[in-house]
């Protein structure tokens, strides 16, 4: 029984260290700074959505409405 435990722990440690080495050797370097400017296309849709603020009916989880653009 001890041999099985030692074998399982050894395999786990080998796989864990191998994955750690693989990540450090081949890992991707990501840039943490992203410069994005988000601007709404128009505010008309935001105003129209306030008019349609009808609460959901019982068992109505998704409501699909026609939006006229």
User: What is the DSSP code string of 12-56?
Assistant: HHHHHHHHHHHHHHHPPPPP---------S-SHHHHHHHHT-PPP
For 18-43, the pLDDT digits (tens) are: 999 998 888 777 666 777 777 766 65
Threshold 0.85, pTM exceeds = no
7 vs 33, residue with greater confidence: 7
Ordered by start, the domain boundaries in the chain are: 1-28
The pLDDT-based confidence of 12 (bands split at 50, 70, 90) is: very high
């Amino acid at each position: 029984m001890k041999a099985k435990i030692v074998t399982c722990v050894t395999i786990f440690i080998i796989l864990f260290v191998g994955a750690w080495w693989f990540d450090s050797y081949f890992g991707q370097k990501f840039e943490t700074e992203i410069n994005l400017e988000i601007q709404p296309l128009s505010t008309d849709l935001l105003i129209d959505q306030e008019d349609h603020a009808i609460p959901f009916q019982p068992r109505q989880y998704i409501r699909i409405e026609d939006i006229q653009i």
